[in-house]
Chains A and B, each alone.
Chain A
Amino acid sequence: MPMKIGNANFHERVETNLHNTFMRGAVAGAQERLHTRRLEAAKELGNWEEWRALGEEIRQHTLENLDYYLMQLSENVAKRGGHVFFAQTAEEANNYIRDVVIRKKAKKIVKSKSMVTEEINLNAVLEAAGCEVIETDLGEYILQIDDHDPPSHIVAPALHKNKEQIRDVFREKLGYKQTEKPEELALHARKTLRREYLTADIGITGCNFAIAESGSITLVTNEGNADLVTALPKTQITVMGMERIVPTFEEMEVLVSLLTRSAVGQKLTSYITVLTGPRDEGDVDGPEEFHLVIVDNGRSNILGTEFQPVLQCIRCAACVNVCPVYRHIGGHSYGSIYSGPIGAVLSPLLGGYDDYKELPYASSLCAACTEACPVKIPLHELLLKHRQVIVEREGKAPISEKLAMKAFGLGAASSFFYKFGSKVAPSALAPFTNDDRISKGPGPLKAWTEIREFPAPNKERFRDWFREHQKGGGK
């Protein structure tokens, strides 16, 4: 599927998902677990802040020199006999890949997890060209066979599904006859997919980190599916977002360490696989042909702007796992395959403000995301920047709000207006006041009082009390 999920508007999606009790329980439970594991992993290292600082250094340096490193990467891939295609747009990427697939007369394609291929909607293009495309990451596989249910989390895409739902889908679509026990479900997936790996014509992967110095790509999984996708079919196509690159193996290992700890609290995942070009002379497994597709799709528009830090992202979802808003509304509410805080910053940049203008406001700016990010992206500040852009450049703020803010500007910049306003507030709100509180407020207070009581303005303002207090000699 493409980056955008569904057509309902933001508030409708939120309303629906707030009622999804299972999803909310699953998300809250996952957050507890992953948050705890990340903190434990960080504590065990002992100097986590230094690691974060190093992660930030590496990512910032790489972005500042992105053209150089992509040049070096492509030269080294070609030296090893691999083919490199630089795709400015999703369409260019899809066309190139489809051409390779057609040239190879491929019928069956196995894929390991790749957010960027979902972003460009690759699967739909290949299916339209007559190919069977099979997701092999267990979570993605479950969603795929469940009629392409969209992912709700960057790292754990099927988080919103319970095991009973998965069992039912397996029964309906795969002829599964056993129970909802996760071990049995996984074993069935293992058997089914093993046959697919062995008969696939092409393997398509994403890329966690490309290594410029050697023309290598790094794949990080627990399942080992990326290994099977790349070792068995004759052709391998790797698709990468252009910013997913490091200078050398030494930076790769630092970022992998940050990624695995931040995402799932592991020192390393079961498989960190570094692949360079097609297979070597004399090798039996591994692809005969290797293609690397490097995708821009709007990322270059972010370079050189105040949003550039968002490209530092290593897709660990640590921010998603601490977000109190995501906790309640779940991934699908964001209307994008990129959800949570990173999604709220990235989706408007890649997908435009028309579809995503509510996302930057769906945040209390608590900064838990900024605190959690292993490469120190100032996520909450970038959300704030989006609000500034929406107000000032896009002119998309509601008129009533603009007027209210103008009044604020006047009132808060002038002690005369402020004092006057604060003096009349109690009497202005008197009709709505009951004892010391307001339960059904007018205007801007209405939204507040739908959920909470609002305190009535004190008849004696602090400043009045203080004046008297001072006269009384401070006693």
Chain B
Amino acid sequence: MQTGTIHNRDKFLQTIADRLGRKQRTERVPRPHWCHQPQWTVFQGYSQDELLEALKAQCPRIHTQCVETTSAELKETLKEVVANHGGGPVVTWDDPRFDEYGLTHLLRDEWPKENTDVHIWDASAGRKNIDFADKANVGITFSDITLAESGTVVLFSGNGKGRTVSFLPKTYIAIVAKSTIVPRMTQAAAYIHEQIEKGHLVPSCINFITGPSNSADIEMNLVVGVHGPMKATYIVVVDR
């Protein structure tokens, strides 16, 4: 990757240092041990079952449907949910988990045979992916990390995991493995921070998505479905 350019930094930072009455700080500034750490107490000690219950309780509050299923029944559940939302066209990530969870046949065979158009993200097809996503009725991804407290799915972009799959279509479906559920954003942030400390690069887009899109800009009336998806469903696979 070619390094980007930086302009006008020296004088800018010198001004700050001058105003703060000291020399410019260029040596590593150690992050303080914060005196208060209330974020770690939320859902502290919860089991995966308890976290799942918390997630389920949160979903109605964020206008999101939550459906529980098992690995064996996932395919049928997914078919049913998509049908309930009005069927295809469907756009999905190109993600090995579709195979691991036994959904490849559904995407490549069953749905197309039923005249449900399916587009699996294809890096070589460029802009066509976006056009399909724009016209799709349903977008399906897996959740990389799931936050119980807020009912949030965390998506890391890249490698066939297009950003727009989760927000261009009218409906968004996230397949959530129960094992991915953590108490809150604190755990997800700690994980990402740890990866960075180890020298890994963060993906160019990390999205924390909580339900469908909404706005209260018109007379403070909540309208669900503005710009992004109008509906959202989480399908929790309890034995994964």
Contacts and interface: CB of A to CB of B under 8 A. Distances in A.
Interface in B186-218: 186, 188-190, 192-193, 196, 201-218
A231 B219 contact: no
A142 B26 CA distance: 45
B234 interface: no
B228 A303 contact: no
Contact of A193 (B147, B152, B227): B227
A54 B36 contact: yes
Nearest to A290: B4
B34 A58 contact: yes
B113 interface: no
B146 to A, nearest CB: 13
A459 interface: no
Interface in A43-84: 45, 47, 50-51, 53-54, 57-58, 61, 64-71, 74-75, 77-84
B129 interface: yes
Contact of A283 (B21, B32, B38, B204): B204
Interface stretch (A120-128, A266-274, A363-371): A266-274
Interface stretch (B5-13, B73-81, B95-103): B5-13
B223 interface: yes
Contacts of A290: 4
A57 B34 CA distance: 7
Interface string B31-69: 110111111011000000000000000100010000000
Nearest to A66: B16
Contact of B159 (A58, A85, A282): A282
A157 B217 CA distance: 8
Given A249-B189, A282-B158, A228 B220 contact: no
Interface residues of B, number: 91
B72 interface: no
Contacts of A276: 201-205
A224 interface: yes
A307 to B, nearest CB: 12
B214 A71 contact: no
A163 B219 contact: yes
Contacts of B213: 222-224, 270-271
Given A284-B130, A300-B15, A250 B193 contact: yes
B87 interface: no
A162 B217 CA distance: 10
B151 to A, nearest CB: 8
Nearest to A254: B39
B204 A224 contact: no
Contacts of B117: none
Given A84-B6, A283-B157, A252 B212 contact: no
A182 B125 CA distance: 38
Interface stretch (B104-112, B137-145, B161-169): B161-169
B133 to A, nearest CB: 8
A88 B1 contact: no
A35 interface: no
Contacts of B7: 83-86, 96
A272 B167 contact: no
A267 B214 contact: no
Contacts of A270: 62, 209-214, 228
Contacts of A205: none
A74 B9 contact: yes
Given A222-B215, A267-B150, A274-B206, A284 B123 contact: yes
Interface stretch (A133-141, A385-393, A436-444): A133-141
B227 A280 contact: no
Contacts of A248: 31, 189, 193, 196
A458 to B, nearest CB: 49
A242 B9 CA distance: 12
B5 A280 contact: no
Contacts of A185: 218
A232 B39 contact: no
A139 B168 CA distance: 20
B1 A80 contact: yes
Contact of B4 (A71, A81, A252): A81
Interface string A173-209: 0000000001101110110011000100000000000
B206 A186 contact: no
Interface hub of B192, B226, B229 (most chain A Cβ within 10 A): B226
B164 A232 contact: yes
A296 interface: yes
Given A54-B38, A74-B9, A88-B15, A277 B204 contact: yes
Contacts of A222: 213-216, 226
Interface stretch (A26-34, A312-320, A330-338, A425-433): A26-34
A68 B22 CA distance: 12
A238 B224 CA distance: 27
A223 B8 contact: no
B3 A79 contact: yes
Nearest to A22: B219
A280 B157 contact: yes
Contacts of A84: 4-7, 9
Contacts of B186: 250, 253-254
A158 B218 contact: yes
B27 to A, nearest CB: 8
Nearest to B209: A271
Interface of A: 26, 29-30, 33, 45, 47, 50-51, 53-54, 57-58, 61, 64-71, 74-75, 77-88, 92, 96, 136-139, 142, 156-159, 161-163, 166, 182-183, 185-187, 189-190, 193-194, 198, 213-214, 216, 222-225, 227-228, 230-232, 242, 247-250, 252-254, 256-257, 264, 267-286, 290, 294, 296, 300-301, 303-304
Given A67-B17, A190-B226, 10 more contacts: A74-B9, A189-B226, A224-B227, A247-B31, A272-B208, A276-B201, A277-B4, A279-B204, A282-B123, A283-B158
10 contacts: A53-B36, A54-B37, A68-B25, A82-B4, A142-B217, A222-B215, A249-B190, A274-B206, A274-B208, A279-B205
